[in-house]
Each structure stands twice: as structure tokens, then as C-alpha cells.
Amino acid sequence: MQKIRVDNFSISIDGFGAGQAQTLDNPIGRNGMDLHQWFFPTDTFQQMVAGRPGEKGIDNDFASKGLEKAGACIMGRNMFGPVRGDWPDDKWRGWWGENPPFHCPVFVLTNHARAPIEMEGGTTFHFVTDGIHAALDRAKQAANGRDIRVCGGVSTIRQYLKEALIDQMHIVITSAILGTGEHLFNGIDLLKLGYKCVQVTPSGKVMHTIIVKDQ
């Protein structure tokens, strides 16, 4: 059955999924890269970006499963890039180069229309201006029954979570402390929305948790 998933999403031990002040040099905000230090050494990441072996083990097992190809992806405007307001031109094409790692249609939530961007490797960015439900409907149609991944950032996940539209979340609790930034669960009653934690797996670096919605 088709699922709406969040995979490999890292938060600080104080609950933040991104730091403050996102910039071109700081795409996840101040100290935000600290959240992903568990991921970078894995064989999955090293093979993807450098074509060389990396670390195996629990972290890599979760990283690999989380990057299994989805039928479609959804992300927020801030995750796509640091540009705010109207698009000044068509130069910005995402953080990931000409062959992004998604390899499927990606629906970007935005208030500012833009023509689709077709990239190498099967990724096409579509810009959706009429809300999270419209983006999900388009993603479901494009996915042809396969799972849909809500990639982030924090604001986008929160919007779908408040509507109980996410079926499963893999949340990675790291030892980083951000102090400020974008909090993932603040003000959201997961129990009331029908969510429960069904798996907790420590790796020595982080805690991998699986949260699902009761069907």
C-alpha cells in the first residue's frame, strides 16, 4: 500500500530540525550540519557523492533504506534553495547539481510560480502554489502507487503532520544541541493525531526512531 513517508530526518537532542539563518553557505541554518554527522561517513552517502566505500553498520542500514527510490517527493521552498520571494531569474536549480539524488518527480511548495525544471537522472522539479493538499494529490498521481517521501524541511513536515497525512517517520535523534531554530514537534500532539513509536534503535552515534500512524 502506498505510504507517505519521512526518512532519515535528523533532529537535535533539544528537538530542532534546522538552525537559524539559512544562507547559501549555511543551507540548514547555523550549526545545522551538526545534525547530519552520523550520515556523512556511511557507505550510502560516500558511494553516492564520492563513489568510494564508507562505514557499514546500523547507521548505514537506515540511511540506505531511507534513500530507496520513492515514486515522488515533496519539499518546501526553503529546502529547494535560499532564494526568497519572487524568483529573480531561473538560475537557481537546487543544491544538488544537475543530477539530484531524487530520481523522480519532486513537488516544491511555494507561493511563487515557476516553470518545471527537468534535471538529469529522472528528477523534475514542479512548483506548486496551491498548498499541501494539491501537492500531495499531484505526487500521488505521479507516484503510480509507489511511496511518497516528504523530504522537508521542518515547516513542510509540520504542515503534513498536523493534518495526520504522514504514515511513517524515521526520525534520527542526534547528540547535537542547537538551542534555537526550527522545532519539529513543538505544539503538535502526536498522540491525539494517532501516532506511536514502534521502534527505537541506538547506533552508538544516534538514536533511530520509527513513528507510525495507527491505521
Could you tell me which of 55, 6, 4 has the C-alpha nearest to residue 154? 6
Tell me which of 23-37, 114-128, 151-165 is least confident: 23-37
Contact between 30 and 174 (Cβ < 8 Å): no
Could you tell me which of 90, 119, 213, 97 has the C-alpha nearest to residue 163? 213
Domain boundaries, the chain: 4-84+99-213
pTM here is: 0.95
| Distance (Å) of CA 174 to CA 13, 50, 141, 143, 195 | 6, 24, 35, 31, 21
Q: Give the pLDDT band (50/70/90) at residue 173.
A: very high
Quote the pLDDT of residue 52.
96
- For 4-84+99-213, CATH gives 3.40.430.10
Over 90: is that where the pLDDT of 23 sits? no
Over 80: is that where the pLDDT of 215 sits? no
Mean per-residue pLDDT of the chain? 95
Over 80: is that where the pLDDT of 198 sits? yes
Average pLDDT over residues 32-52: 95
Q: Give the pLDDT band (50/70/90) at residue 119.
A: very high
